[in-house]
Amino acid sequence: MKLLRFGPKGQERPGILHADGTIRDVSALVADYGPESVSFDLLEQLRSAKLDELPVVEDSVRIGAPLSRTGHFIAIGLNFADHAAETGAEIPKEPLIFSKAPSCLSGPDDDVLLPRGSLKLDHEVELAVVIGKRCDYVSKADALSHVLGYAICNDVSERDYQKDRGGQWIKGKSAPTFGPLGPWIVTADEVGDPQSLDMFLDLNGERSQTGNTDTMIFSVAEIVSYLSEFMVLEPGDVITTGTPPGVGAGKKPPVYLRAGDQLRLGVAKLGEQRQQVVSRD
C-alpha cells in the first residue's frame, strides 16, 4: 500500500495510490497521516475498506509530504563506505546520528529554498524509514517489525552551515524545505528487503549519485535497534539512513546547488522526486 497526502500546502488530505493507478481520498476513514494516526491498525483499516468506492482525486493535484508532521526527524551520517571515502571521513564504528528539524519536512516535488547567503547547498538521495510501532530497546531481529514503511528523502544540506559554522550538523540540515519526503510511504510488506534498493539522483539531467542500499554500513534493522537504545522511537518518526557517493561536496572541484538547478531522484519501489532550487526571499 502507498500512503500519500495531496492538496495545496497547509490543506493536504490523506490518500492512497490505488492499484489501478488513481489516487483515492481516504479522509472519510482517517483525518490525516501523522504521529496520532499512523500505525499497523490504520493499515488494516485501510486494507479492509472498500477503496474502489472512495473518491478519485485529479491527476494534476499537488502531492505533499506523506506525513502532516513528525515528532523526530533523525538522520544517519556517513552510512555508505564509498560516500565516506569521497568526503575523506573515516568509516564510523557506530552509526553517526544527527537530527533534522521537523519543520524542514517538505513535499517531494516542492521547490528547495536556497537560504539567504548560502554558499554550499548540496543534495543527498536517501532511503527513509517511517516507524509504525513504539520502539524501546528493540532487538535487531525484531526491528523491522516496527517499520511501517519506506519513502524517498532528499537530505538537503548546507555544507557551510554544517561544517564551517561550528556546533552540530543540525544547523546545516534543517532550513525550510531541507526534508523533501515521498511521494508516498510504501508499506514494508510491499518493499520487502530494504537492503537491495537501487538509488539515483540527477542534477540538471546528468547523473550525479548512483548507489544501492546493499552497500550501507549499518542496515535498517541495525539502525532502528541502535537508536532504540538511546531514545524511544514513536509512530510517525522518520529516520533517513544515509546517502551513496556523488554529492556535490565530494566532487573535484565541489559542485554546489544554485537557483534554477533541477533535481530528479529516486529509490527502487518508492517512486521519484523532482525539485527546483529557488532563492529564498
Threshold 0.95, pTM exceeds: yes
- Start-to-end Cα distance in the chain: 38
DSSP string covering 261-279: -EEEEEETTTEEEEEEEEE
What is the model's pLDDT at position 89?
78
Mean per-residue pLDDT pooled into runs of 10, the chain (281 residues)? 97 96 97 98 97 94 98 96 80 95 98 95 98 98 98 97 89 97 98 98 98 96 98 98 95 96 98 97 77
Sequence-ordered list of residues with C-beta below 8 angstroms from that of 101, at least 6 positions apart, any chain: 73, 170, 173, 174
Q: Strand 56-57 to strand 23-25: parallel, antiparallel, or no bridges (unpaired)?
A: antiparallel
Instruction: Give the pLDDT score at 102.
Output: 98
Instruction: Output phi, psi for 52, to 5 deg.
Output: -60, -20
Q: What is the pLDDT of residue 82?
A: 80
Domain ranges of the chain: 2-64, 73-279
Right CATH for 73-279 from 3.90.850.10, 3.30.1360.10, 3.50.50.60, 3.40.50.10490: 3.90.850.10
Query: Looking at residue 164, what is its pLDDT?
Result: 85
Instruction: State the sign of the Cα–Cα–Cα–Cα dihedral 224, 225, 229, 235.
Output: positive
Question: What is the pLDDT at residue 206?
Answer: 98
